[in-house]
Structures are given as structure tokens and as C-alpha cells.
Amino acid sequence: MDVVPSELNSILPDEIMDTEAIVMEDSLPVASPAPAPSGVDATETSVSMETEVPEIFSLCSTATSTQMTLALTTPTTTDSVPCTMNSGTQLLLTPSVSSSQCHTPAPAPKPTTLVAGGLQKLSAPFTLSANHQLILNKVGSSSGVDAKSHGTPLLKHEGQKLVVTTISKGGQPIVLTLPHTAAKPGTVVRTGDATVQPQQFKVVAIGGRTELKPVVGVQTVSTASQLGSSSPQTASQNQQLKTVQITKKTVASTAGPMVTKFIITKALSSKGLSSQTSVSPVLTGRVLGQGTPVTPPRTIAIADTLNSASQSVPTSKVAISPLMSPSKLTVVSMASPSPGSPQKTVSLPLSVALGQQILAVQQPTSPAKAAPNQSTSQTVKPVQTVAVGGVGTSQFKTIFPLAATPSVQQIQVPGSRFHYVRLVTATTASGTAHNSSPSINSASSQPAKPLVVNTAPMRMSVPIVPAQTVKQVVPKPLNSTAQVVPTQTQQRLIMPATPLPQIQPNLTNLPPGTVLTSAPGVGNVGYAVLPAQYVTQLQQSSFVTLASSASYSTTTGIQTQARMPLNGTLSVSESTTRPRKPCNCTKSQCLKLYCDCFANGEFCSNCNCTNCFNNLEHESERLKAIKACLDRNPEAFKPKIGKGKEGESDRRHSKGCNCKRSGCLKNYCECYEAKIMCSSICKCVGCKNFEESPERKTLMHLADAAEVRVQQQTAAKTKLSSQISDLLTRTTPALPCGGGRLPYTFVTKEVAEATCDCLMEQAEQAELSSQPQAVAERVILEEFGRCLMRIISSAGGV
DNA sequence: GAGTTTGAAACT
DNA sequence: CAGTTTCAAACTC
């Protein structure tokens, strides 16, 4: 998956993200043949995938690159969850075993395959392990048609929460995280489906909006019947909607029947970008809306409110401050759970998530049950995007895990300028390398793919502060690696994984680019908001080194990374998106407001500063500096120039200037620099920066004239360039093979023949006049020169 | 590019 | 809160 700059976020849904709706339903088990000791029982989960799409999802850590892979890892492998595939989509669930073929559901924790009658084959072994992640890799080509999986894959779904991460179109893996619950393997009950109180959450991406709604009275899905009935679909369908419905039935001894259903609707276009998502009506009443016809954003709904067990388990929660209205929020939790912790889940409270999107990335906690194919996990950098839509509000989140041992996950908040980076200390080596590995395709195709980082349960809910200043965003052209870089990045906030009581009150004031990390020894979770540019750099660099809590050392400084020469693409974007000048701080370590980078909440990048601490390498110092600044002035990181309500006239400096000697007509004056006039709150002396000031008018005229001049020059250059290009185009014969138009192409066959005729004529004349050979040669050469001149003039004249 | 000027930020 | 110092950007040469 590509890293998407924040600016594109608004565009992203259409451009980048596939629309996938995953609905997870949890219903209480009606009857529990095998009552589990705990109120929450591990139950069989029947996963029914209804796919109209020929593409097949494979749930395997070892899925081949060409396949879409779903990797489901749950802590307990013993339980198998029957999955039903309605239509041609096959879902293979194999606990820690990858199988290309469909398998009948085996009660034992054997590899189960979900086979959808779909045209494409997805073989995916998925391991139910601590990871709780389901990774779906989209396969570019569907090779074979898969037999329907009559055998229903058993997904062990102990957690009542299913976290689904959207899959990037670029073949990025989809990660589904299944939160662990207290349910035990033995308690699993086969799909007997009594659905008593199914809860369903419907995620619908409509026009880029995601809606998540709980649904009551969910229908139960019979797995076996559906599987049998499901008909394979032809691979010819380019765009298809895949719906995966996973019904989880849990039988609790005491509790009523619970049925958990996961509905995953994914609109996939075989060709990628343009996917039309129409939620298949197959799941009646479950899909609230339909994806936007054009490149809808992928949506992941995480619903899990019912299970008490799941709730009991520590979960990561991200709370988005409702006050701030970031239209899009991306949050990545990267906490590294203790190896023993069975559950790694991110629960997104609907109440919190309403109207906001949250991204959650989880890592498997229990290494033992990690997917077998871990060798590649390090290299694989799946991008995960999760969209949690509040009702009526469209939002989506994008997570960009950055791979590498110092695993960094980046979250981009569309519409907001926040880049959230979560730093995870690689504590659990075994656990970290895991499931994400299956996405081989993505790794190869996209270098900067993040690993799925292990996420420990988040301890804190973090309010996220939206960028306060709305700045013009320049959308970048979407390419394969669509990236959006804000013209002026504002990053804010940060949520400390560890409690930062001092700062929390001022979270809203946190500077952009702030990195909050857990205090040493407290935890390894950290959140960082990175400048869009920085994120872009990180993504492109394909590896990021983060030092958090000294848990791991960084081999390469971030500063270094940031300063790394950008490739052409980045440089272009940078020029347009990063107006900020590089700082030259020498004594402040870029940790004081003297530093513009720091003041703007940005990491230093391509700066000339020395001894810079304004980077991820010095998270703690930076954090302290931020805190100090906030202590001095809670408004320190708020924009100094108030946003004009209606036009620039309303803009004014929040504090006013104090100029003494500049007359407020030089850039020393913050008001003048901001191109606003001084106001009554200014304490300047000899101010000339007011409306009627003749000096100011003169300066403005000069500035305008200069600007016009520049624009004219630019326009002239552009025009000239286009003219030259046009000239070459018109004068150059089109080459059949589509080759470029080069000067030699002016010499067409006719021209060559004419030239030869001229040369021959000269030769004949020389011969007739009995000229010496040397003279004849000279005459011929002269004629050749004239011919060339005519050709050139002819070309230029056209 | 070096040096000066300037005013915000930081400090007392 | 006021005065002073520090700092880095803006400016000049």
C-alpha cells in the first residue's frame, strides 16, 4: 500500500482505497452445548463469505504473491470456525498451515480453508494465534478457479471483536484482527446456529463515507447450506463485490446464544483502482449502504461490544476528541504487548468513533501461535487502512506501518494534517514477525510497506487534536504510490501511550509533529504525529528507525532519514508541499520555539540545524520540550494568526507584534510576515503596517508588481516550453512503434531520397565536368550540407 | 557568505 | 509583569 499524504486523504477514498466493508457481528449463543466456563465462550465461528467477485481471498500467511491472503491468527488454534462461502469466493482458513486448496472444516485446529466458489483461488492458511490478525492480500490475477469449499473453514474466533483492516488496492494485505476473548477452544460449538441476539455492525462506505451501525436481529448464516449453494463465479468479472460474512456462534453455558457474524464486503476490481462497490444484497439487512461506485474507500468496521470477555481483555482504545472535528483520523496503535498477553486488540468504541475513523493495527501477541511464515514478515510491510465510520459522518483512516524492526506505523488522517506514527519497540521478536508476511506481492511491489506491528493493548484513550489551521492543500497526482503531502503540514498531537498527565490537559495545544512516547520503562508504546513530509519520507525510505524508550537503538537517525535526498518524486512534491524553510538552529537543538520547525510541530527535515533533537530519535527530549513550552504558554503551538472568519480581513495576530524599529514593514514583524495588518493588540512602535499607510501601500504595490512579474515570467516559460514541445511534436513524424520524436526523425524516407538525389546530381555534374575526385567529393559534401540546412530549416518552419 | 539587525522566545 | 538575555530569522553589504 502506498503511503498517502494527508492531503490526499480527502481524495484517497476514491483513489486509493478499495471499498471494503467488513461487518462483524457478534451474537450471543443461544444454546451452548458445551458451555464454557467463562461467560464468554469461544465458539465456533462460521464464516460465510458471499462473494460475487471472482477473486478469492486466501487466508494464509504463506499465500503466494498472486493470491489474496487472509491471515487470521487467533490465540487458540484448537478452535475452528466454520466459514461459509456463499458465492464463488473461497476463504481458506488454516491455522498456521497454508494450503492452497479448500478443505473441509476440520474440528481440530487444522488448517481450514474457506473456499468460495469464486473464480479466483485464495488459499490461505491462517493461523489462529495471538496475532488475531487477518491479512488479506489482494491478488492481481486469479489463476484458477477454486472448487467450492464445502468444508467450512473454521475460524477460531475467541475474541468477540473482529478488527478488519482494509486492504490496499495495490495488493496490500488486509489485516483482520481478531481480538482474543476468554473463550476457550474447547467450548467451541459447531454451527448450530441459533442466533439469539446477533449484533451486527454494518460498515458501509458510501461515497467515501463509512457508516458503522449496529444491527439487531441479525440473521444467522448457515454455513453448510450456503457453501453448497454457492456457485463458483467466473473470473471474467473484473469488478466484483466480495462479501464475506462470518458468523460466529458462541455457545455459552449461561449466556444466551451469541452469533457473531462477520460480513466483509469488498469491491474488488481485478484491475485495481476502479472498483465499484455495491454491497451485495446477499446479506440482507446487514449492509446499510453501498460503497461508492467509484473507488470507494475501504471501510473496516470493528464491532464488538457484546462480549464481556472481549471487553474485559485489555484493549487498545483510541478516543478521538469529539470537540475537534477532524474529518478523518488515523490512529495506529503499536504498543508491543507483553509476550504473554493473549490478546491484542484494538477496540474502537462506537461512541467514540462516531463520525471519526480510527485505524488500529495490531500485532500478534503470542509468538508461539504466530503464522509459520514469519521469515518474510520483516520484509513485508503491509499497509493497513481501517475506516471506522461514524453514523452520518464519512471518515476513514489509513495506517501505514513502516516495517522494520524498529517498527513504525504511520497513520495518515485524511483531511486533517496529522500523521500519526506509532513507535513500537520490538520487544517480542517472535511475535512481531508474523502474519503480515503472506503479503509477498505487496512487499515486492511496494517497497515501503510496513510490517504489521504488534500492538499491545492501549492503555489510554487518546484525544486527537485536529489541525487547527486550515491550509491549502495541494493534491498530488495520484500515482501508483499515491502520496499526499500537505502544502503546509500541521501536525498535532499526540497521544502518549503512557500517561502524560501534564500534557494531556493540553493535548489540544500540542504541536504538530509531537511525538509522545512512553516513559522509559513504562511501556513501549508511543504516538507520534509526524509532518506529512516526514511521513512521506519515511514511507519512501522504506525504513524508519525509531528510537523509543531506548528499547531499541536506531541505526539510522531519523534526522538522517529526513535529510536523505529525496527521489525525484518526492522532491517535486516537496517543493510544492513544503514551503517551510529549513531551519538553521544551532543552539536550541530545535526544541524551542525559536525553531520554526519545532514551533510548527514539524520534525526537522532537510534542515541545516546542528545538534537537532527535533526528530524521532529524541522523542523524550522533544516531548519534554513540548511540555515545557506548553507550561510556559498553553497556546504556544496554536496558530498565531487567527483564522479569519470571512476573508483575510479578519485574520489577525493572536498576540500582536512588538516591533520597535522595523515599522512593521519588514518580515521581522510577524504581522507583516503573515501579510496581515497590525491590530489594536499590537504593541509595536512606529507601526506603518495599517490600512492607510502609504509606506505599506508602496510596499504592497512593489510586492504585487514583483509577483506579477514572476508570474508572467513563469507563464512565458511555460508557453515557450509548450510551443517547443508542440513544434517538435508536429514536425516529427510519428513513429509506428511509438518511439520518441527525435531530430533524426525529421529525415523521412522522402527527405533521404531527395537528399540522395541531390548528392547524385552533384556527383554526376562533377563527373561530367571531369573534376578531380577531391573536388567532386567536396562538391558533394557541400551539397549535403545544404540539404541538411534545408531539412533543419524545414523542420523549424513547421 | 559574513556580519548586522530585529523581535520573539526564554529567562530572571 | 517587566527587564534582560538568548536565539534564529531577516536583512545588509
**N-terminal to C-terminal alpha carbon distance within chain A:** 46
* pLDDT of residue A129 exceeding 60: no
Report the share of chain A in percent with pLDDT over 70. Answer: 24
Note down the domain range covering A564: 467-632
Which residue, A543, A558, A532, A534, is CA-closest to A402? A543
What per-residue confidence (pLDDT) applies to A749? 80
Element (H, E) at A788: helix A773-797
Q: Which residue is nearest to nucleotide B6 (CA to C1')?
A: A668
On strand C, nucleotides with any atom < 7 Å from a protein CB are 6-11
| Protein CA A493 to sugar C1' B9 (Å) | 22
Question: pLDDT, tens digit, for every residue of A368-384?
Answer: 333 334 433 333 333 33
pLDDT at A590 over 90: yes
pLDDT at A704: 78
CA at A54, C1' at C2: how many angstroms apart? 75
Distance CA A255, CA A341 (A): 25
- What are the CA-CA distances from residue A769 to residues A758, A762, A765, A780 (Å)? 17, 11, 6, 14
Pick the more confident residue, A421 or A525.
A421
- Among candidates A402, A138, A411, which has minimal Cα distance to A264? A138
Q: Residues at the strand B interface (CB under 7 A)? A: A 592-594, 599, 628-629, 632-633, 636, 640, 655, 657-664, 666, 668-670, 684
Residues paired with residue A423 on neighbouring β-strands, in sequence order: A408, A526
Query: Stated in angstroms, how far is A661 CA from B6 C1'?
Result: 8
Nucleotide with C1' nearest the A666 CA: C10
| H or E segment to which residue A54 belongs | none
On the CB side of A761, how many CA atoms lie within 13 Å of its CA? 10
The residue-averaged pLDDT of A167-182 equals 39
Q: Which among A632, A653, A682 is the end of a domain?
A: A632
Kindly state whether residues A774 and A628 are assigned to the same domain: no
Are A452 and A381 spatial neighbours (Cβ–Cβ below 8 Å)? Answer: no
Å: A659 CA to C13 C1': 24
CB A195 within 8 A of CB A45: no
| Covered bases, chain B (protein CB within 7 Å) | 5-11
Q: What is the pLDDT of residue A43?
A: 37
Reported confidence tier of residue A365, pLDDT bands at 50, 70, 90: very low
Give the residue-averaged pLDDT of A575-598: 81
- Bigger pLDDT: A45 vs A793: A793
Q: Looking at the predicted structure, is the pLDDT value of residue A759 above 60? A: yes
Distance, CA of A296 to CA of A273 (rounded, Å):
9
Task: Give strand letter and number of the nucleotide nearest A583 (CA to C1').
Answer: C8
Q: What's chain A's Rg over C-alpha atoms?
A: 31
What burial letters (b/e) apply to A294-311, b meaning 16+ CB within 10 Å?
bbbbbbbbbbbbbbbbbb
Task: List for chain A the helix, strand, coil content (%; round to 5).
Answer: 25, 15, 60
Task: With CA atoms as reference, report the closest residue to A156 among A229, A31, A23, A262.
Answer: A262
DSSP A691: T
CA A719 to chain centre: 37
* Domain identity same for A493 and A618: yes
A359 inside domain: no
Strand-pair category, A57-58 with A43-51: unpaired
Return the higher-pLDDT residue of A710 and A1.
A710
Distances from the Cα of A470 to the Cα of A110, A129, A183, A193, A644, angstroms: 53, 44, 47, 51, 10
The answer on pLDDT for A598 being more than 70 is: yes
Give the pLDDT band of residue A666 (cuts 50, 70, 90): very high
Coil, helix or strand at residue A241: strand
- Asked whether the predicted pLDDT for residue A73 surpasses 50, the reply is no
CA of A582 to C1' of C10 (A): 14
pLDDT tens, A462-494? Answer: 323 333 333 333 333 333 333 333 333 333 333
The nucleotide whose C1' lies nearest the CA of A685 is B7
Q: pLDDT band at residue A692, thresholds of 50, 70 and 90?
A: confident
| Closest-lying nucleotide for A595 based on CA to C1' | C8
**Which nucleotide C1' is nearest A633 CA?**
B9
In the prediction, which pLDDT does A218 show? 37
**Closest nucleotide to the alpha carbon of A653, via C1':** B8
> Whose CA is nearest the C1' atom of nucleotide C9?
A668
| Closest among A121, A124, A120 to A111, alpha carbons compared | A124
- Tell me if A232 is assigned to some domain: no
Q: Is the pLDDT of residue A632 over 60?
A: yes
At residue A192, the 3 state secondary structure works out as coil
How many Cα atoms within 13 Å fall on the side-chain side of residue A262? 39
Q: What is the pLDDT at residue A205?
A: 35
Q: Band the pLDDT of A670: cuts 50, 70, 90.
A: very high
Cα(A195)–Cα(A316) distance, integer angstroms: 28
Q: What angle do CA A500, A501, A502 make, to 5 degrees?
A: 95
Percentage of residues of chain A with pLDDT beyond 90: 7
* CA-to-C1' span, A73 to C9 (A): 54
Beta carbons within 10 angstroms of residue A546's beta carbon: 31
Residue A290 predicted with pLDDT over 80: no
Last residue in a domain, options A632, A666, A682: A632
Q: How many Å apart are A632 CA and B12 C1'?
A: 14
pLDDT confidence of A660, banded at 50, 70, 90?
Answer: very high
Residue A482 belongs to a domain: yes
CA angle A710/A715/A720 to nearest 5° reads 125
The DSSP H or E segment spanning A262 is: strand A258-269
Residue count (chain A):
798
- The whole-number pLDDT of residue A715 equals 84
At A232 the pLDDT is: 39
Judged by C1' against the alpha carbon of A587, the nearest nucleotide is: C7
Q: How far is the CA of A658 from the C1' of B8 (A)?
A: 9
Query: How far: A183 CA to B11 C1' (Å)?
Result: 59
| Residue A643 binned pLDDT confidence (cut-offs 50, 70, 90) | low
| Å between CA of A668 and C1' of B8 | 9
Average pLDDT over residues A148-160: 38
The pLDDT tens digits of the residues spanning A534-570 come to 444 444 333 333 333 333 333 333 333 333 333 333 3
**How far is residue A88 CA from its own chain's centroid?**
29
Find which nucleotide's C1' atom is closest to A655's CA.
B8
Nearest nt to the CA of A610 via C1' is C8
* Whether the predicted pLDDT of A689 surpasses 60: yes
Q: Where are the beta strands (DSSP E) in A3-82?
A: 20-29, 43-51, 57-58, 68-69
* Confidence category of residue A720, pLDDT binned at 50, 70, 90: confident
Average pLDDT over residues A177-185: 38
Residue A657 confidence (pLDDT): 92
**Residue type present at position A270:** S
- Specify the nucleotide whose C1' lies closest to residue A599 (CA): B9
More confident residue, A17 or A784: A784
Number of independent structural domains in chain A: 2
CA angle in degrees (0–180, nearest 5) for A289-A416-A509: 130
**Binding residues for strand C (Cβ < 7 Å):** A 581, 583-590, 592, 594-596, 666-668, 673
Q: Averaged over A748-763, what is the pLDDT?
A: 86
CA of A578 to C1' of C6 (A): 28
Spatial distance from the CA of A586 to the C1' of C6 (Å):
12
Q: What are phi and psi of A632, to 5 degrees?
A: -70, -40
Give the model's confidence band at A594: pLDDT under 50 very low, under 70 low, under 90 confident, else very high.
Answer: very high
Arithmetic mean of pLDDT over chain A: 50
Given a cut of 90, whether residue A593 has pLDDT beyond it is: yes
Alpha helix stretches (DSSP H) within A466-542:
532-541
Nucleotide with C1' nearest the A589 CA: C7
pLDDT at residue A585 above 90? yes
Non-local (6+) Cβ contacts of A711 within 8 A are none
Calculate the angstrom distance between C1' of B11 and CA of A412.
38
Residues linked to residue A166 through DSSP beta bridges, in sequence order: A385
Among the candidates A598, A632, A666, a domain finishes at: A632
Residue A580 pLDDT? 67
Q: For residue A666, what is its C-alpha cell?
A: 519588514
Q: Which residue has the higher pLDDT, A241 or A621?
A: A621
Which residue minimizes Cα–C1' distance to B11? A632
Q: What pLDDT score was predicted for residue A771?
A: 85
| Phi and psi angles of residue A411, each rounded to the nearest 5 degrees, phi first | -125, 135
Residue A361 cell numbers, joined:
493495527
As given in the structure block, the three cell numbers for residue A232 are 463458483
CA torsion A432-A436-A441-A447 (nearest 10°) is -40
Q: In the predicted model, is pLDDT for residue A669 greater than 80?
A: yes
The whole-angstrom distance between residue A114's C-alpha and the CA centroid of its chain comes to 28
Q: Per-residue confidence at A586, pLDDT binned at 50, 70, 90?
A: very high
Q: Cell 503479503: give the residue.
A: A439
Residue A550 CA, nucleotide C9 C1', distance (Å) = 34
The answer to the question of residue A753 being in a domain is yes
CA–C1' gap, A631 and B12, in angstroms: 17
Residue A281's region, left for phi above 0, alpha for psi from -120 to 50, else beta, is: alpha
Q: Is residue A537 part of a domain?
A: yes
A9 pLDDT tier (thresholds 50, 70, 90): very low
Q: Distance (Å, rounded) from C-alpha A279 to C-alpha A798?
A: 56
* Nucleotide minimizing C1' to CA distance for residue A588: C7
CA of residue A691 to C1' of nucleotide C8, angstroms: 29
Assess whether pLDDT exceeds 60 at residue A116. Answer: no
Q: At what angle do helices A773-797 and A694-731 cross, to 10 degrees?
A: 130
